[in-house]
């Protein structure tokens, strides 16, 4: 078998494994709030992920894929040794995937972005040296891992307070929910549309002016809000309007909204984190096809498809453990609280995707869930679970780097000898 064929097969297998790990861990995060709040079944979560993860990756994932492929390490230093870069990217994929497998087994919601960036930095340092890493880029990404959960947590905190003030504290929460939830639906749909029209479509050969993009986004948001309004009107409510029954009816309205925010979160996740699997695969494929390290090459459609398939299978087969941690164990979620967490996290992630910064969806969503918990009081948070999550975050970066170094030496030895 030709050496290039072996490398391509390994890239496909490791890329699939990495995508499976993202599905088992990160997509489970993205869907956890909807499932934990009871708004979406596990089967529904898988269906939503299958559609919107792919759309997010295809329409809005190009900026982040470029960062993962070329932004973290200095490709100039690999010009004379493309095989070193190929072996390193293979080792990085395998290292990140193995760590995600371990974390998912224990239900730890770790960061796939942490995993793959730690792995790429690890191999680059041992293969070339510390000068091979763009430390300023890594520093920017690392800063985003702190900023993104704080921003998402703050947004979700404010959203919970707005829901409490506008709906739950009103004289008739059911009537208020019918009145205000369509506006929340408009906000959620517009967030997706803005990043798609302003940033994403250029990656598929379409380009619209900023003014037209904003107009299209607002129109799309309004259309989705109208559909949501019509669906809410058709809901059947309990005739009792006293005591907790008022809030049961309100949560039914928010369950409709959570379907919209679940789609938003899946799209946002696909736009940012699918690059963790397909970025290194795209780099390997372009090197195999051209023999060159430095070039601007589009991500082949079959690589996108590879990532989408692996992610959906990972969520379906192993995602339930992480879903349980994020959706049920940090704090108790209802549709109204879950909506706040998802919309805040999705808004943060799509903004990062638009700028090409590969932030951690895990950190962002957990930060958003914590914001919801803080809005209800710190006693509503399970601090033991939160400590475990934070420890798994700290361990992830060095774990990815160490595994990558080990796999790099093993793969270099085996592939050089073949």
Task: Find the mean pLDDT for residues 148-158.
Answer: 84
At CA 154, angle to CA 54 and CA 380, rounded to 5? Answer: 100
| pLDDT cut 70: percent of the chain above it | 76
SS3 call for 133: strand
Q: Inform me whether the pLDDT recorded for 68 exceeds 60.
A: no
- The alpha helices in 69-209, defined as continuous H runs, are 82-105, 112-127, 135-163, 173-195
| Per-residue tokens: 330 | 């940090």
Q: What is the pLDDT of residues 277-327, one digit of tens each?
A: 777 887 788 788 777 765 555 667 777 777 777 877 887 777 766 666 655
For residue 304, give Cα distances in angstroms to 282, 326, 351, 356.
9, 27, 21, 17
Domain locations along the chain? 3-417
Q: Inform me whether the pLDDT recorded for 406 exceeds 90.
A: yes
What is the per-residue pLDDT for 296?
A: 54
What is the per-residue pLDDT for 402?
A: 94
Residue 158, C-beta contacts closer than 8 angstroms, at least 6 positions apart = none
Query: What's the CA dihedral at 35, 41, 43, 46 to 10 degrees?
Result: -30
| Per-residue tokens: 304 | 């996108």
In terms of Cβ atoms closer than 10 Å to its own Cβ (0-12, 13-18, 19+), residue 165 is exposed
| Per-residue tokens: 234 | 């058709």
| pLDDT cut 90: percent of the chain above it | 8
Q: What is the pLDDT of residues 184-219, one digit of tens each?
A: 889 888 877 776 676 555 555 566 677 887 888 899
Residue 118, C-beta contacts closer than 8 angstroms, at least 6 positions apart = 96, 396, 397, 398, 399, 400, 401, 404
| Gyration radius of the chain over CA positions | 22
Q: What is the pLDDT of residues 227-246, one digit of tens each?
A: 888 888 887 766 655 455 55
For residue 273, give Cα distances in angstroms to 53, 265, 267.
9, 12, 10
Task: Find the mean pLDDT for residues 154-159.
Answer: 86
DSSP secondary structure letter of residue 300: P
Q: What is the pLDDT of residues 330-355, one digit of tens each?
A: 556 677 777 787 778 777 777 776 66
SS3 call for 312: helix
What confidence category does residue 405 fall into, taking pLDDT thresholds of 50, 70 and 90?
A: very high
Distance CA 407, CA 347 (A): 36
Nearest to 85 by CA among 278, 282, 277, 273: 282
Q: What is the pLDDT of residues 92-104, one digit of tens each?
A: 999 999 998 888 7
Distance CA 272, CA 353 (A): 5
Average pLDDT over the chain, rounded to an integer: 77
Residue 354 has, within 13 A of its CA and on its CB side, a CA count of 15
* Residue 73 β-bridge partners: 133
Distance CA 128, CA 77 (A): 8
What is the per-residue pLDDT for 62?
A: 55
Q: Inform me whether the pLDDT recorded for 43 exceeds 70.
A: yes
Contact assessment for residue 258 and residue 342, using Cβ atoms and an 8 Å cutoff: yes
């Amino acid at each position: 078998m030709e050496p290039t064929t072996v490398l391509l097969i390994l890239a496909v297998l490791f890329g699939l494994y990495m995508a499976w790990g993202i599905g088992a861990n990160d997509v489970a995060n993205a869907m956890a709030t909807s499932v934990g709040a009871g708004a979406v079944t596990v089967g529904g979560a898988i269906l939503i992920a299958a559609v919107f993860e792919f759309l997010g990756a295809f329409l809005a994932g190009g900026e982040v894929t470029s960062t993962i492929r070329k932004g973290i390490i200095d490709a100039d230093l690999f010009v004379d040794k493309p095989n070193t870069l190929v072996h390193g990217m293979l080792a990085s994929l395998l290292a990140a995937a193995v760590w995600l497998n371990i974390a998912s087994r224990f239900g730890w919601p770790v960061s796939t972005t942490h995993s793959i960036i730690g792995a790429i930095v690890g191999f680059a340092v041992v293969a070339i040296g510390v000068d091979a890493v763009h430390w300023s880029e890594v520093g920017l990404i690392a800063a985003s891992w702190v900023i993104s959960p704080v921003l998402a947590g703050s947004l979700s905190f404010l959203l919970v307070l707005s829901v409490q003030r506008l709906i739950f504290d009103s004289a008739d929460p059911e009537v208020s929910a019918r009145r205000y939830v369509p506006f929340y639906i408009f906000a959620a749909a517009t967030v997706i549309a803005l990043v798609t029209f302003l940033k994403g479509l250029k990656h598929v050969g379409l380009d619209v002016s900023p003014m037209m993009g904003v107009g299209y986004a607002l129109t799309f948001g309004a259309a989705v809000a109208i559909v949501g309004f019509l669906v809410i009107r058709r809901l059947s409510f309990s005739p009792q309007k006293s005591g907790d029954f008022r809030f049961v009816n309100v949560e039914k309205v928010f369950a409709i909204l959570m379907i919209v925010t679940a789609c938003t979160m899946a799209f946002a996740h696909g736009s940012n984190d699918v690059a963790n699997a397909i970025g290194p695969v795209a780099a390997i494929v372009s090197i195999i096809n051209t023999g060159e390290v430095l070039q601007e090459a589009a991500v082949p459609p079959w690589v996108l498809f590879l990532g989408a398939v692996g992610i959906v299978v990972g969520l379906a087969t192993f995602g339930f453990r992480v879903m349980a941690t994020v959706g049920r164990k940090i704090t108790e979620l209802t549709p109204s609280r879950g909506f706040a967490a998802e919309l805040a996290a999705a808004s943060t992630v799509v903004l990062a995707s638009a700028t090409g910064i590969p932030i951690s969806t895990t950190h962002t969503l957990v930060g958003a869930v914590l914001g919801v918990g803080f809005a209800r009081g710190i006693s509503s948070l399970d601090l033991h679970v939160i400590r475990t999550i934070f420890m798994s975050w700290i361990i992830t970066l060095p774990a990815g780097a160490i595994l990558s170094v080990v796999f790099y030496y093993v793969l270099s030895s085996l592939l050089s000898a073949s």
